[in-house]
Structure 1
Amino acid sequence: MSDLPTLAQVAAEAGVSPATASRVLTGSVRVSTSTRRQVHDAISRLGYVRHRAPRGGAGRRSDHMVAAVLCEPVHRLFTEPFYARLITAAEEVLTRHGVPLAMMTATAATSTVATPPLVSGGVDGVLLIGARERHPLAVTLAASGVPIRCLGKPPEGIELPHVDMDNRDGGRQAAEHLLLGGRRSVAVISGPPGLPAARDRLDGFLQTLALAGMTGVPVAYGDFSHNSGVHGMQWLLRRMPNVDAVFAASDVMAAAAVQTLRRAGRRVPDDVAVIGFDDAPVARRTSPPLTTVRQPVEEFAALAARLLLLAMSSPATAGGAGNNPVLPTELVVRESA
């Protein structure tokens, strides 16, 4: 007998009927947000995993299909080069194996619309990008039995196979470089606090400064966009007029910080050193070119795609917490710091 929790146990834990719990799992719109949250929380607490019938069968094609799901508004897909790099590299791997890639977005607000085709047999695997804490789609997919691979760590409390960058060590390298350069009035433009990658970059940076006796570092929070980099740098200049170094959690925000500093009459790097993260093309076009933490974006996405294909063909040997690779990051020193 299996000790795995059942859907009936999930329903009892959530205080709803089994039919309601089932509707949540299939993404039905006929469930209130509060009820959906109760079921998601029960799934997470019990570790429930849905058993799916194999795709195919009589009269069905056996062709595979993978969906890449970006947990961000659709405009980010077209304005952030990082996502284009991820999806292009993943698609190249899948195409070589004859597997088409469908692209979709799913914010927390639109997840009820995005969920049904993902969990009802419409796709054979999911590449999940940018899931933040309590994102309902991440919880539902974890329980669905659909082969999945997260690009980046999943939200805390949700167990999903993933590939990650060593974001924490990237933050450490940035902090050490600024300390070695004699910078002492340091500030940060971080990414969204609910995103594991952003949190790890910030933690690695602040913990390294703390070991050197530097605490109380001001932190502005952005969303990796240019506008948030501008607003974050403006806020930091008001908070710390004598700032002499800034670590931004993306190159786009770092480039925006450089522009904002220039408008404020501050020279980079003479007055203020700036370090970004990604080593995106914008890092080389910024004036001066950005010192940044390079993450191997294409290798990262290609590895996630290969591991997803392995899970789709041999679930028993592909997934699990023991196969969540972490790729190294590397500081690239240019003229901005």
Structure 2
Amino acid sequence: MSVERSKAARNRPTIHDVAAAAGVSRGTVSRALNGGRNVSPAALEAVLKAVRTTGYVANPAARSLVTQRAHSVAFVLTEPQQRLFEDPNFSILLQGCTQELAELDVPVLLMTASTEVERKRTSRFIAAGHVDGVLLVSSHTGNPLLEELRDSGIPVVACGKPIGHEGQVAYAAADDRSGARQMVEHLRSRGRRRIATITGPPDTPGGVERLAGYRDVLGPDASPDLIAHGDYSRAGGEAAMASLLARAPDLDAVFVASDLMAAGALNVLHDSGRRVPEDVAVGGFDDSSIATSTRPALTTVRQPFQRITREMVRLLLEQIQGEPPAASILPTELVVRAST
């Protein structure tokens, strides 16, 4: 080792420096950096601030030898890789989880598992102990990955209610059903009577819960002719909107289960000569960046993405520390803009 490197190693901040800067014990620092169990919120905040101030970086190899953990987490997206770039929700979730875990010096591995080959590769990698837990995004009913992860004993937290596994797998989710009710009630309050919907995929929690909220409000008025299924893509929104217009040309409003699909629906409405909102009111879901870029700007249901990612990380760290799976359902908010 050169003299310069040796000197740099001696000057590198240690856990003792972090403890002194935070005004807590070395043990408190250690617990804070390994999941935060039995650490008060004030002490955890002080430790994280001290880590940033001192520039402390844990030695992952040494820490793994002591704890028998990988000290990394997998962010697994069960959608084609291109969806990460097309749908802003996925990148927001990835960024939020990465930032939350960066505060604890825990790196995040991004993995996609949309095909059988990818799923098997992902399952083998995780079962081999290369990560301490999994943040699972966009889980579809019937996807064997969730069962494989549960069988491996790895802590898992799903984004959205894991249909069929609600009592067995931890999850953080927006209250999709309540948000959908808010939107449909808003459309009715604007005098709309032929309200259609473009749902998410019926094998996803958003697809199921948002359709249920739509039906809660409309009851018998929720005619099959007014319901079309989409896939959360812009093209899917376009196809579903075209199908609705062919079946129910007199519709005067549409609740779309994602902003990206709503953007596609708006394209079809404009091309058909229908004015928004004069002829057809349009409501979305998510309050992503897309909602303010459409013309007109989109009325939508805001998902609390920052809180969702924070809860996903918290629930995962608790499981890693030995706590049982838990759930967190967060409220949504109606954001009214020019499309209704």
- Is residue 176–residue 208 contact of structure 1 (8 Å, CA) maintained in 2? yes
- Is residue 70–residue 132 contact of structure 2 (8 Å, CA) maintained in 1? no
What is the one-letter code of the residue matched to 1:84? S
Counterparts of 1:160 and 1:81, CA distance in 2? 25
Larger proportion of helix: 2
- Is residue 93–residue 306 contact of structure 1 (8 Å, CA) maintained in 2? no
**Which structure has the larger Rg over C-alpha atoms?**
2
Residue 174 of structure 1 corresponds to 183
Counterparts of 2:69 and 2:205, CA distance in 1? 36
Residue 171 of structure 2 corresponds to 162
1:333 matched to 2:340? The reply is: no
1:324 is aligned, of 292, 313, 327, to 327
Alignment of 1:79-94 (within 5 A): 79-94=86-101
Deviation beyond 2 Å, 4+ runs, structure 1: 55-58, 60-63
Residues 226-278 of structure 1: CA deviation (Å, up to 9, x unaligned): 10011111111101111100000000111111121011000000000000000
What is the one-letter code of the residue matched to 1:138? L
Q: How many residues are matched? A: 275
1:102 matched to 2:105? The reply is: no
- The structural deviation recorded for 1:155 is 2.7
Counterparts of 2:129 and 2:165, CA distance in 1? 26
Alignment of 1:80-229 (within 5 A): 80-107=87-114, 109=116, 110-157=118-165, 159-210=168-219, 213-217=220-224, 218-229=226-237
What secondary structure sits across from 1:278 in the alignment?
A: coil
% identical aligned pairs: 41
Counterparts of 2:140 and 2:293, CA distance in 1? 30
TM-score, structure 1 length as denominator? 0.78
Counterparts of 1:127 and 1:330, CA distance in 2? 24
- Is residue 64–residue 71 contact of structure 2 (8 Å, CA) maintained in 1? no
- The structural deviation recorded for 1:196 is 1.2
Unaligned runs of 5+ in 1: 1-54
Counterparts of 1:177 and 1:62, CA distance in 2? 49
Q: Report the CA distance shift for 1:273/1:124 in structure 2 as closer, same or farther (over 3 A).
A: same
1:67 matched to 2:74? The reply is: yes
Unaligned runs of 5+ in 2: 1-62
Counterparts of 2:202 and 2:230, CA distance in 1? 9
Q: Alpha carbon RMSD of aligned pairs, Å?
A: 1.7
What secondary structure sits across from 1:67 in the alignment?
A: strand
- Is residue 70–residue 131 contact of structure 2 (8 Å, CA) maintained in 1? no
Counterparts of 1:92 and 1:305, CA distance in 2? 10
- The structural deviation recorded for 1:157 is 4.2
Residues 19-39 of structure 1: CA deviation (Å, up to 9, x unaligned): xxxxxxxxxxxxxxxxxxxxx
Counterparts of 1:155 and 1:292, CA distance in 2? 24
TM-score, structure 2 length as denominator? 0.78
Counterparts of 1:293 and 1:138, CA distance in 2? 28
1:250 matched to 2:253? The reply is: no
What is the one-letter code of the residue matched to 1:244? D
- Is residue 160–residue 172 contact of structure 2 (8 Å, CA) maintained in 1? yes
What secondary structure sits across from 2:284 in the alignment?
A: strand
Counterparts of 2:130 and 2:172, CA distance in 1? 24
- Is residue 108–residue 137 contact of structure 1 (8 Å, CA) maintained in 2? no
